[in-house]
Structure 1
Amino acid sequence: MIGLPVGVTACLFDLDGVLTSTATLHRIAWKQTFDEFLAGATEGERGPFSDHDYNAYVDGRPRADGVRTFLASRAIRLPEGEPDDAPDAATINGVGNRKNEALLRLIDERGIQPYPGSVAYLEAARAAGKRIGVVTSSANGEHVLAVAGLTPFVEARIDGVTIVEQRLRGKPAPDSFLAGARALGVAPGAAAVFEDALSGVEAGRAGGFGYVVGVNRADQAEQLREHGADIVVDDLADLLDGAK
């Protein structure tokens, strides 16, 4: 058994922080990018980017949304620019592309490891006949899944590229998870959402999904519950029969 209510036939997993440890790399890349940007800023608050900033303004959101939301919290405004802006451009998209360059360097240097408990859960979910999809705000979703060796588990992938192509609202709006349910051919009420980000569990609750699992990777169990998680676990293996 995999710890899901009767009637839930599909699982929609966030990627970074739920299936793989890449959330740590995202956090490092965001801090490098924003600390460098803030050091040269001429307006707004210029204190360093913090863990609170990551959890409140960036985690789980599409890249441009994260830049926009964080800078707004510091009273800094930039023009939107274009998706292909150079990483040194003083635009929302430019800052986001700078972060992506930093992230890809970190992936090359450190590699990507899936959480063993998450792999065990994926194996159990597949054996139980559950449909499996990945819903991530990252535009690097396909690459991360491949490097982590998780592609064979995934029937449908909604990622940052899909979000732009289909003009979906990013988390905490439920649009990307709803697209994941459509891609698997199931109603939201028949799908479970697995998320480590506050914006992600909020999206799962807003979309009317059958079960929302909060994965507590950042010591924020109570906040995950407050934002809509039905259950909070430290690792997906905790949901499996026989877990201690």
Structure 2
Amino acid sequence: MLGLPDHVSACLFDLDGVLTPTAVIHNKAWTATFNEFLRARGLREFDPVHDYNDYVDGKPRAAGVRDFLESRGISLPEGTPDDPPDAHTVNGLGNRKNDLLLELLRQGGLKPYPSSVTYLQRAQRAGLRRAVVSSSANTLQVITSTGLAGLLEVQVDGVTIRERGLSGKPAPDTFLEAARELGVEPAHAAVFEDALAGVAAGRAGGFFVVGVDRLGGEHTEGLRRSGADVVVPDLGKLLEEES
């Protein structure tokens, strides 16, 4: 059904890069945030391809800040989630990134991938359960503004992670929580992910994993190495394979 194994009865979708192209504006916000920080210290700039994919994509903000800085041998105090965006802390940098992201969202124009909308609609008609699973604390704003909220039954996001004390990707906690809310065993659910950390999380949780590769090249192999059962360039490819 819909290009998935017969035993799958639920679909757990990452948001950024799978349902919407918000990965592009996340990348812009991360690049601007880190480059401002690095330039002030005379350090090499953030690589929006390799650094983004390796250290921040698909992770909660604080984890992304922490992992990237560690890759450069930099240590900052953790701070608190309420730190102002100019604070020299892990949370401060994360909040600076979020402010930039919200400004980019306010500028408008974010649309979901058309094939992802079609896939969600087909999944709904077929009776498959549907959840969005994202590390972003802005998930509700994104799915509401793009008209996806009515096609999704469950939302597990950055707010859920904080409130329930879940570990972010590459830990499987968020996908396991979404499956629990849907009342579906992991073995009967498919995870749709474009990030290496998200694919690893799906594999660790015992899900069938669809890697969504919009980059090509080395990323395809990275998704496979991280545990994707199948890799497609777009969800529309799964619909083509069904027909």
TM bin (shorter chain): over 0.9
How far apart are the structure 1 equivalents of 2:41 and 2:133?
34
Alignment-derived partner of residue 125 in structure 1: 123
Alignment-derived partner of residue 36 in structure 1: 36
Aligned-partner residue type, residue 187 of structure 1: E
How far apart are the structure 2 equivalents of 1:111 and 1:84?
29
- 4+ residue stretches of structure 1 with deviation over 6 A? none
How far apart are the structure 1 equivalents of 2:201 and 2:240?
27
Structure 1: state its 5+ residue gaps.
none
**Paired residue secondary structure (1:118):** helix
The correspondence of residues 1-244 of structure 1 with structure 2, limited to 5 A, is: 1-41=1-41, 46-50=43-47, 51-209=49-207, 211-219=208-216, 220-241=219-240
Aligned-partner residue type, residue 93 of structure 2: V
TM-superposed CA distance for 1:41, in Å, is 2.7
Please tell me the root mean square deviation across aligned C-alpha atoms, in Å: 1.2
% of aligned pairs identical? Answer: 60
How far apart are the structure 2 equivalents of 1:77 and 1:169?
21
**Paired residue secondary structure (2:107):** helix
How far apart are the structure 2 equivalents of 1:158 and 1:165?
11
Maintained 8 Å contact 2:166/2:173? yes
Maintained 8 Å contact 2:3/2:241? no
Structure 2: state its 5+ residue gaps.
none
Maintained 8 Å contact 2:2/2:242? no
How far apart are the structure 1 equivalents of 2:131 and 2:41?
40
TM-superposed CA distance for 1:40, in Å, is 1.4
Deviation track 1:165-216 (CA, whole Å, cap 9, x = no partner) reads 111111001011100101111110010000000000000000011x100000
TM-superposed CA distance for 1:111, in Å, is 2.8
Deviation track 1:5-37 (CA, whole Å, cap 9, x = no partner) reads 111100000001000010000001000000001
Q: How many residues align?
A: 240
Maintained 8 Å contact 1:188/1:207? yes
Maintained 8 Å contact 2:111/2:146? yes
TM-superposed CA distance for 1:222, in Å, is 1.1
Aligned-partner residue type, residue 232 of structure 1: V
Aligned-partner residue type, residue 235 of structure 2: L
Maintained 8 Å contact 1:139/1:161? yes
Maintained 8 Å contact 1:237/1:243? no
